[in-house]
Amino acid sequence: MARFQVLSHLVFVGVHLCTTSLAEGRVSPRQSDGEEMWKGVGKLPFMGFNTWNGFGCNYNESVLEENAQLMINLGLKAWHTRIRIDVGYNYVNVDDCYSEPQRNKDGDIVVREEKFPSGMRALTDKIHALGLYVDSNPSLAIPGNTPHSKAGIYGDSGWFTCNNGSGSFQNEERDARLFQVEWGFDLLKFDNCAVPYDIIIQEGQVGKYARMSNAIKGLAEDTGNPPLLFSLCEWGRLQPWLWGRDLGQAWRTTEDIGPRWDSVTQIINQNSFHATPEKEQFFPRINST
């Protein structure tokens, strides 16, 4: 793959956002001891590679492994020990189309074997094990401050994903544990397709996302490990800048970007109206992932 093609698939997440809290629905954000761990995740905007914009559903584990290595080869994911700078492109993210429509007999999401014959755990182990140094003396790195490569996974708040994979509605706790404990992912992008009508569940948009947010926090309490970085994706239709920070660390503010300059400028313009800096950790996502 040419270098400009790889670069065009990189995700940039960057602008701080002024937000306020908004209560809605019957499911509310969980307040617990997990809050302190929650505050330690996603202090800076996450950056990296995502399968969707460049490949759609036409990818497999080899595509992810190859692009993860390309990020290193191009110097995008590196710990420059001489100047003590983490370039910051540390995430390699799996998007939609990795799962079967039906769960297995135990109720777990089933990975498409033709795409991931080695399994998800093997993939995340490879990503986590990738080298991060661009010079020949990694011992110069500051102890305890060396960045790690991280892996992201995709989920959906409805019954099915946008491409007919398994959604997480009413399986939030099971799926949060599967994503993080069993498969080893660090980030969850959570989409908004095939959601039940609100006249049925009467939770509102916030309630739909609070389900997984609460599951992630509860899992962190149970395991004592840092929670998944939770990235909401409801395309900015219900003003997530007003309530997203109560549930996760990032939220989509627009529809998908297109491979056109007018699409880029339109999205930049949309975000200019609510991009007032406030504090670290909570970020809008203005790209296509």
**75 near 87, Cβ under 8 Å?**
yes
> What's the confidence (pLDDT) of residue 79?
55
pLDDT in tens, the chain (289 residues): 444 344 434 443 333 333 333 333 455 555 555 456 666 787 778 889 999 989 999 999 999 999 999 888 887 765 555 555 557 788 999 999 999 999 999 999 999 999 999 999 999 999 998 854 433 344 444 444 445 689 999 999 999 999 999 999 999 999 999 999 999 999 999 999 999 888 888 888 789 999 999 999 999 999 999 999 999 999 989 889 889 988 999 999 888 888 889 988 988 888 887 666 545 555 666 654 4
> What's the confidence (pLDDT) of residue 46?
87
Active site residue 191: yes
> What's the confidence (pLDDT) of residue 59?
98
DSSP tag of 180: I
Beta bridge partner(s), residue 151: 92
User: Annotated catalytic residue: which of 95, 156, 175, 191?
Assistant: 191
- Structural domains in the chain, CATH included, are 3-285 (3.20.20.70)
> What's the confidence (pLDDT) of residue 99?
99
Determine the Cα–Cα distance for residues 236 and 284; give it in Å rounded to an integer: 9
Does the pTM surpass 0.85? The reply is no
**277 near 18, Cβ under 8 Å?**
yes
> What's the confidence (pLDDT) of residue 18?
31
Active site residue 96: no
Determine the Cα–Cα distance for residues 257 and 262; give it in Å rounded to an integer: 10
Q: Look up residue 272 and give its two tokens.
A: 């200019």
> What's the confidence (pLDDT) of residue 55?
96
DSSP tag of 272: G
In total, the chain counts a number of residues equal to 289
> What's the confidence (pLDDT) of residue 257?
85
User: Annotated catalytic residue: which of 86, 108, 125, 256?
Assistant: 256
